[in-house]
Amino acid sequence: MYKVLTLNNIAVAGLRRLPRDRYEVSSESSSPDAVILRSHNMHDMTIPESVAAIGRAGAGVNNIPVSAMSDRGVPVFNAPGANANAVKELAVAGLLLAARNICDAREYVKSLTSTGDELAKDVENGKKKFVGFELPGRTLGVIGLGAIGVEVANVALALGMKVVGFDPKITVKRAWQLSSGVKQVETLDRLFKASDVVSVHVPLVDGTKGLVSADRLSLMKDGSVIINFARGGVVDSKAALQALNSGKLHAYVCDFPTPELIAHPKVIALPHLGASTTEAEENCAVMVAENVKEYLENGNVRSS
């Protein structure tokens, strides 16, 4: 019997790939053969020696000590692309929320207690207060042309935006999926200079920490927007705060609230919801369960 420890809620569709007659799946196993998780931070825990494989039901693996696991010969499987559609949809929603001031306008309407003519007057005031901007003709800069970045770029083109992209390591597969309308630039500075909106889609690794920095933000036009459904650490929070206060940024839309930014009126922060759809949770769980099973039973490392 293989023992699998789950450290977060994992979609049943994935767990069903581990047949009950051969797998004991539990959130409390003490000497598991494998661990399957979403965002639980494994850096803070002692990983039992019995663990032979780890499955991350998502794209990022920054919550797992990958290099220590490699030293132990333990493969870490993730699910690249399995939640790309979900993240793309939320990133585009975030852009639209920011462009049309929807969150502030909603709060405004919810706060109204007036009726009749007074309510009509308050509605008229809201109409003046929350004037937005349209997307056609504006430029979106997409940093990271992996599964998610490519999808975001293609939707932005369909919305009439110009799109510039940066990814020095774009794969042939993604290059094929990328619409020819996306202009790839050679440096991040060029991307920031050209863009009205920048959306980041890179993993959090040493080279991407604080990639959206004060210097790069200073290259943007006044009233720009940053969209971050990658990881909080990719954006320098202090620099973002300054840019929001100076008017350089119209909005910062992110999936990772940081204490200094949560309450800022120009921040739209969500509780790490990018991959939280039924479909994405199932896709990710199925992909990693199958990879973990294949490894435990046959020793094969399948590329996703």
Which parts of this chain interact with ligand MLT (CB under 6 A)? Answer: 38-39, 58-60, 83, 272, 275
Contacts of 246 (CB under 8 A, 6+ apart): none
Residue of 231, 281, 282, 290 with catalytic role: 231
Give yes or no: 279 in active site. Answer: no
**Shortest Cβ 34–ligand MLT spacing (Å):** 17
Nearer to ligand MLT, 89 or 122 (CB): 89
The burial class, CB within 10 Å (0-12 / 13-18 / 19+), for 38 is buried
Nearer to ligand MLT, 221 or 272 (CB): 272
Nearer to ligand MLT, 83 or 237 (CB): 83
**Distances 91 to 110, 178, 299 between C-alpha atoms, Å:** 25, 17, 37
**Shortest Cβ 39–ligand MLT spacing (Å):** 5
Helices 84-99 & 102-111, crossing angle to 10 degrees?
60
Which residue sits closest to ligand MLT, CB atoms considered? Answer: 58
Residue labelled with tokens 């922060």: 269
**Shortest Cβ 254–ligand MLT spacing (Å):** 13
Nearer to ligand MLT, 61 or 135 (CB): 61
Give yes or no: 43 in active site. Answer: no
Give yes or no: 22 in active site. Answer: no
SS3 content of the chain, % helix, strand, coil (to 5): 40, 15, 40
What's at 76, amino acid-wise? V
**Shortest Cβ 138–ligand MLT spacing (Å):** 27
Active-site amino acid positions: 231, 260, 272
